[in-house]
Structure 1
């Protein structure tokens, strides 16, 4: 058992340093139906490291923390109560001194998102999104496109994520899929000598729509969690390595 734990720990370190390896492993496991022990191990390891929670209910009931771009049409309590929603939040911190003090929050967040969205563009989820995109939208999956972004209002990443709110310490992406609406929010906060990176995902649709949303599907929820948690960890590692040079 200890041998297995040691091997898993070693492989985990490889994934942290070489993100494409995790992408490839996920794709192979998904397509070939190989044993999922490695992904289960990663999920368990990251779940212990990352603070995370999931809530379900109507938009009126969910403990949304500070998402600023929720449409006015569903901010009304009566309208919000007629929705079905899922809210997922995950966060991870690093010591402030681990990231160059010469970088402003806006630059830190931009570099973090460039790195993470470029990595995401090679994940199976992004490949699935690309199947429904036209030729023009497929350009938004390219690393050259993502690495040039400052994540300003209107910028689009991986076909489905459009920037709808941009501040110094936050980027909020809007998402639409059939009747599903959503927000993917990345923020950073300096607090007591630490920098806290947080990812919030909220999806909602009319309450009378019975089709499950992605975060209501156990397999897709698992994929979302391992991707979200890993990007928090790998994104912070990238920043600390990059800015320590």
Structure 2
């Protein structure tokens, strides 16, 4: 067997060429591992009745179980007799000890989110502004809408119905979620005033769920009687069956989107941690 000996200069050249590919690959592998340890995800699609397709669950533990539908979902899409293809993606953190958070959990019956949910949602949206998706949206909108990407704007929001964040997301609901002890903020995807291109049908939501004093040992690192919070991000998108699959339906783009959602959850938790 023969070996080819490369000159030092050639070795350096190859290293310089390979580095932009290897370094992102290593970082992506590390990010994937890190997020997989701290979050769990599931996704699925509901097709119209009579379709050749059925509810398809490609990832996650709860096979063929679609979570409770968002309050903001249009009635024509929500109905089980709907002719819309409905896809969801749900990413949830592992339970986080309440004592490790800077804000306590206080339930609210009003439409103003609790300080914990507001700060978590704000932290996630501030982090989103640095993503390629947000940078692209920002280039397509007018000067006034660009303000909604600014950190000061996001951190000052109450996240009440009508509030707009990151250009394309408008708060449509805040209040109790589908689970006991849960609270959520739902935001519809909508076109900024100056944008004239196609707009996907969809919404995103952030949610916190309180787990009160579960038995000791039932959650990692838990002491007897500890309360925990689960932080959740969901994306819901819908389309006609004749239209192209949405971003979260594709295996590759769906996986990348779940990875980003997990990263945003971690950023949101960091914003409310001690």
> Which range, TM-score by smaller chain?
0.7 to 0.9
Other-structure match for 1:44: 33
Residue 58 of structure 1: CA displacement? 2.5
1:195 and 1:84 mapped to 2: Cα distance? 32
Residue 165 of structure 1: CA displacement? 0.2
CA deviations 1:51-102 (Å, max 9, x no partner) are 1111123378571324111111222332x2x222321101112012222565
CA deviations 1:179-211 (Å, max 9, x no partner) are 6311211111111321111111111111111x2
Other-structure match for 1:88: 89
Give the 5 Å matches for 1:1-245. 35-58=24-47, 61=55, 63-78=66-81, 80=82, 82-92=83-93, 93-100=95-102, 102=104, 104-105=106-107, 106-167=114-175, 169-176=183-190, 178=198, 180-192=200-212, 193-209=227-243, 211-241=244-274
Larger radius of gyration: 2
- CA distance 1:195–1:66, shift in 2 (3 Å): farther
Aligned length: 207
1:184 and 1:59 mapped to 2: Cα distance? 22
Other-structure match for 2:15: none
2:154 and 2:259 mapped to 1: Cα distance? 22
CA deviations 1:150-179 (Å, max 9, x no partner) are 101011111111100012621001114736
CA deviations 1:10-56 (Å, max 9, x no partner) are xxxxxxxxxxxxxxxxxxxxxx6564221122113312321111112
Matched residue of 2:248: which SS? helix
Q: Flag the structure with higher helix content.
A: 1
Superposition TM-score, scaled by structure 2 size: 0.68
Superposition TM-score, scaled by structure 1 size: 0.76
1:158 and 1:51 mapped to 2: Cα distance? 26
Q: Do the aligned residues in 1 keep the contact of 2:41 with 2:90 (CA within 8 Å)?
A: yes
